[in-house]
Amino acid sequence: MVGLTDMKVLSSQGYEMMSEMLAQYLEDFNTATAGAFVMSSARTAGDREVIADFKRIANLAKRRKAYDDSTAISSTKIEQREKVAVKVGGRTDEILFTKNQFTWLQLNPDEADSLISQQLAQAMFQDMVNTSLASTRAAMVQNGSAVGYTVPSNGEASLSALVSGAAKFGDRAQDVKVWVTHSKPIFDIYQTALTNSSQLFNIGNVQVQQDGFGRRFVITDSPALATGSPLDYYMLGLTDGAITVKDEGTFDENLVRSNGVENIQNSYQAQWDYTLALKGYSFSKSIASPTDAQLITGSNWTKYAESDKFTAGVYVKAR
């Protein structure tokens, strides 16, 4: 009788390989983004994580009249604010295959283990990155010109545009650590950099490595960074801890073998959860288990930080 031992689909070894690959992808991305994208393994109970902390007390230092003992002074309160991180559910489609698909080609059926593990780790990583970037873009755009710069006349990206974007943070512009960008605006910047006599760019093999102020570029053709028709391209200037993704450790999988057709079928399905938090922004408490459309709706992200300078960063929009 044919049993599960004949085809160890996502065995404990395969699961460990998938987990290790996903962790490595995220660690590499964390490093590439200079700590702007943070991955952790803390778990969240329920639909969301609500964190309460204390607001900054405005105008705390005042002038005092040393010889006035009668004038009443105003009062203020110590107040709390809430930051809401949202739990996001992920899954695979049903994956159908047969042992004979491998044995027919004189391959070891256990290769299904490795095949699914590798592709699933890549897919989970891409989903986390794309969803995080799309949500960050939506939150920043909702915040408006306070954190965003649009190149005039539908112009292309340039060094000048990056300077204008970072300048939105004023005296805290140095907090912008990295630009996460689609490749199209980067190549537009390359064209400018090639004729840039000021040598503000570090170019090697026509590779712009930083923006002249030490900020590195992380290039990904994520659909989160190219939207609309015609396409608008976004360059996100992220601060430390701008995006936090918490792996909930809830990965679950199921394999079912079934009869009734010409070839014995294997049906595989998996699901998982992670919590997404954006620095300075809070997700709507009225939405549980959000869809992609809800995550990228700007009005679902509310700025809770008192100052724009303490949010996830800035954006530059170009054509």
Residue-wise pLDDT for 276-290, tens only, equals 999 999 999 999 999
For the chain, the C-alpha Rg in angstroms (whole number) is 25
- Assess whether pLDDT exceeds 60 at residue 201: no
pLDDT at 111 over 80: no
In 68-190, DSSP assigns E strands to 80-91, 95-97, 148-150, 178-181
Q: Is 37 inside a domain boundary? A: yes
Q: What is the share, in percent, of the chain residues with pLDDT greater than 70?
A: 80
Average pLDDT over every residue of 262-273: 87
Give yes or no for a cis peptide into 109 (omega within 30° of 0): no
In a domain, 67, yes or no: no
Q: Is residue 64 part of a domain?
A: no
Name the packing angle between helices 12-32 and 111-143 (round to 10°).
30
Q: What is the pLDDT of residues 24-52, one digit of tens each?
A: 888 888 888 888 988 776 555 554 565 65
Asked if residue 160 belongs to a domain, the reply is: yes
Classified as helix, coil or strand, 38 is: strand
Which residues span the domain enclosing 146?
4-55+80-318
The token duo for 23 is 């962790």
Concatenated DSSP letters of 48-94 = EEEEEEEPPPTT------TT-SS---------EEEEEEEEEEEEPPP
Domain count, the chain: 1
CA-wise closest residue to 274 among 41, 93, 50, 116:
41
Rounded mean pLDDT, 68-79: 78
Helix (H, G, I), strand (E, B) or coil at 300: helix
Closest C-alpha among 53, 295, 316, 56 to residue 163: 316
Report the pLDDT value the prediction gives residue 53, as an integer from 0 to 100: 61
- Domain-located, residue 174: yes
Q: pLDDT at position 56, please?
A: 67
Quote the pLDDT of residue 107.
65
Asked if residue 16 is part of any domain, the answer here is yes
pLDDT on residue 101: 76
Q: Which tokens belong to 256?
A: 């079912």
Phi, psi of 246, rounded to the nearest 5 degrees = -105, 115
Examine residue 13 and state whether it is found in any structural domain, yes or no. yes
Is residue 310 included in any domain, yes or no? yes
Distance CA 185, CA 156 (A): 7
- Mean pLDDT within 159-179: 94
End-to-end CA, the chain: 61
> In this predicted structure, what is the pLDDT of residue 77?
73
Tokens 């701008």 belong to which residue? 242
pTM of the model: 0.80
Which residue, among 159, 170, 130, 132, has the nearest Cα to 316 in the 3D structure?
A: 159
